[in-house]
């Protein structure tokens, strides 16, 4: 039977980085994936340019039932460590916005870098691997893989979440955690567009492609200042994706379409200068004309001139545009979600090493764990940081 120090299940961001680090630290590592390519999500990420980390990565940017869990790993392997690695490989990068770092050329560069790191660690890679059974043994674990048994001292589960099933996502990690008695916190799609109810959808659909810088506020008070994008299914854009991770079905979302404007003051000043100007044309100075026209058909903007706009109408208008209450119908779900919220309950894991406290040798890293970052490179940073923390323990164990 083939024997390894470490078997890593899942050759995505976390799995590849962990395998490479452990291999370079002297462990004999086997890296498995059910797909036919390494790092498929990395290749798709950031519009093909991989938003590989964020300059402002910090624990406050992560959602988890146990918000302290991510602190240790993020502090020990930081965004600066990963930037250093990328720079050593000569990969050119730039900050797009809000600390989000992207490759200048292609996400393939990150996958190639991780592949080379794995080669340096003499990691054995097996793609198209179907794991049919995992059993605990005295030495560690026996894994039945494409009908053959492999034995390992340590097993790292890096099989990711449920988002984008077309890219190999599977509930494998959750089932394995349950097999060993670990709790799985309810999972749901995160960083995902909202769908809308009819008849609102019928009206807003006509705006498909229109983007508006906005401030969105969730029911729990979480605020994001980025753009929203109208789509033929509902609402998307960075502000919506961010807020979706904080949204529960049935809740309303507050949308401020004019976050940088004293709207009442602007209308009063315009009324003095151009009393016969239509409200529609006045608002079009600050909002896309198509949006103003659409909101008028929804009777959210009265069809009047500025001098006809009475104080009650003006207050209602300010509320309508700066605290627009939208109730999403739902989300587009795992098909388009960037991440999965929930997952392996971190209270069963060590925050220093990612090992399952009750099952020595069994580790969970990356998205399969109940740690989910904001949009903007935070999720990859969690993958790198959790993988690194795990690899340090694997190296220590193999030397013990
Ligand atoms: C379209 C898209 C764009 C994104 N863009 C960004 C971005 O720019 N920046 C950012 O920070 N985050 C981004 N994310 C999120 C980020 O990709 C994930 O958070 C990250 O990939 C998680 O890493 P992981 O290694 O835990 O899981 P994954 O990268 O999902 O890797 C898991 C691997 O496990 C394999 N696997 C699953 N089940 C099995 C099984 N039964 N047997 C064997 N192998 C299995 C899968 O094939 C996969 O290769 C994006 C996500 C999507 C979907």
pLDDT of residue 167: 86
CA 15 to each of CA 23, 80, 271, 374, 383: distance values in angstroms, whole numbers, following the listed order = 12, 20, 61, 21, 8
Domains, the chain: 2-189+339-399 (3.50.50.60), 194-331 (2.40.30.10)
In the reported structure, the alpha carbon of residue 239 is separated from the centroid of ligand 1 by a whole-number distance in angstroms of 22
Which atom of ligand 1 lies at the shortest distance from residue 367's CA? 26
Q: Ligand 1, residues 39, 95, 159: which to mutate, most atoms within 8 A of Cβ?
A: 159
| CA 138 – ligand 1 centroid, Å | 32
Q: How far is 337 from 192, CA to CA, in rounded Å?
A: 4
Distance CA 37, CA 217 (A): 39
116 CA distance to ligand 1 middle (Å):
19
Ligand 1 surroundings by CB, under 6 angstroms = 9-15, 32-35, 40-41, 44-46, 50-51, 129, 131, 158-160, 163-164, 168, 170, 172, 338-339, 366-367, 377-380, 383
What is residue 171's predicted lDDT score, i.e. its pLDDT?
A: 96
Cα 100 to Cα 38, 83, 114, 309, 376, distances in angstroms: 23, 12, 20, 43, 5
| Spatial distance between the Cα atoms of 301 and 284, rounded to a whole number of angstroms | 12
Spell out, as residue ranges, where the chain has pLDDT lower than 70.
Answer: none
What's the pLDDT tens digit per position in 237-255? 999 999 999 999 999 999 9
pLDDT at 168: 85
Say what the pLDDT of residue 166 is: 86
CA 366 – ligand 1 centroid, Å: 8
Q: What is the pLDDT of residue 317?
A: 97
How far apart are alpha carbons 124 and 167 in whole angstroms? Answer: 22
Q: What tokens appear for 263 in the block?
A: 């709207």
| Predicted local distance difference test score (pLDDT) of residue 264 | 97
Residue that is written with structure tokens 């991780």 in the block? 114
In Å, how far are 130, 208, 232 from 135, measured between CA atoms?
A: 15, 51, 48
pTM: 0.97
- Please give the pLDDT value at position 157: 98
């Amino acid at each position: 039977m083939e024997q390894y120090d470490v078997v890593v299940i899942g050759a995505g961001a976390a799995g590849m980085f962990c395998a490479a680090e452990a291999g370079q630290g002297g462990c004999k590592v086997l890296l498995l994936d059910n797909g036919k390519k390494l790092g498929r999500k990395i290749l798709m990420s950031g519009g093909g340019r991989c938003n590989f980390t964020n300059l402002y990565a910090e624990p406050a940017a992560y959602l988890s039932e146990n918000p302290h869990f991510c602190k240790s790993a993020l502090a020990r392997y930081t965004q600066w460590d990963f930037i250093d690695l990328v720079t050593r490989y000569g990969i050119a990068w730039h900050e797009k916005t809000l600390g989000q770092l992207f490759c200048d050329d292609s996400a393939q560069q990150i996958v190639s870098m991780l592949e080379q790191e794995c080669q340096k660690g003499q990691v054995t890679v097996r793609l198209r691997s179907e794991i049919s059974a995992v059993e605990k043994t005295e030495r560690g674990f026996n894994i039945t893989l494409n009908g053959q048994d492999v034995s390992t001292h340590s097993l790292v589960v890096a099989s990711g979440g449920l988002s984008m099933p077309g890219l190999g996502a599977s509930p494998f990690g959750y089932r394995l955690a349950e097999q060993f008695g670990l709790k799985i916190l309810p999972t749901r799609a995160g960083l995902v567009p909202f769908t809308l109810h009819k008849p609102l959808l019928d009206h807003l659909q006509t705006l498909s492609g229109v983007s508006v810088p906005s401030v969105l506020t969730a029911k729990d008070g979480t605020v994001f200042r980025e753009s929203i994008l109208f789509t033929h299914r509902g609402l998307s854009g960075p502000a919506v994706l961010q807020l979706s991770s904080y949204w529960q079905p049935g809740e309303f979302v507050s949308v401020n379409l004019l976050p940088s404007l004293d709207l009442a003051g602007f209308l009063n000043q315009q009324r003095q200068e151009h009393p016969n100007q239509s409200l529609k044309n006045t608002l079009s100075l600050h909002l896309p004309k198509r949006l103003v026209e659409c909101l008028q058909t929804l009777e959210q903007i009265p069809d009047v001139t500025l001098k006809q706009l009475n104080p009650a109408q003006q207050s209602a208008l300010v509320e309508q545009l700066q605290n627009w209450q939208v109730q999403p119908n739902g989300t587009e779900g795992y098909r388009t979600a960037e991440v999965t919220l929930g997952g392996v309950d971190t209270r069963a894991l060590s925050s220093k090493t990612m090992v399952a406290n009750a099952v020595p040798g069994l580790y969970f890293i990356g998205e399969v764990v109940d740690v989910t970052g904001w949009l903007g490179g935070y999720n990859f940073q969690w993958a790198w940081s959790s993988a690194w923390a795990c690899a340090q323990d694997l190296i220590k164990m193999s030397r013990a």
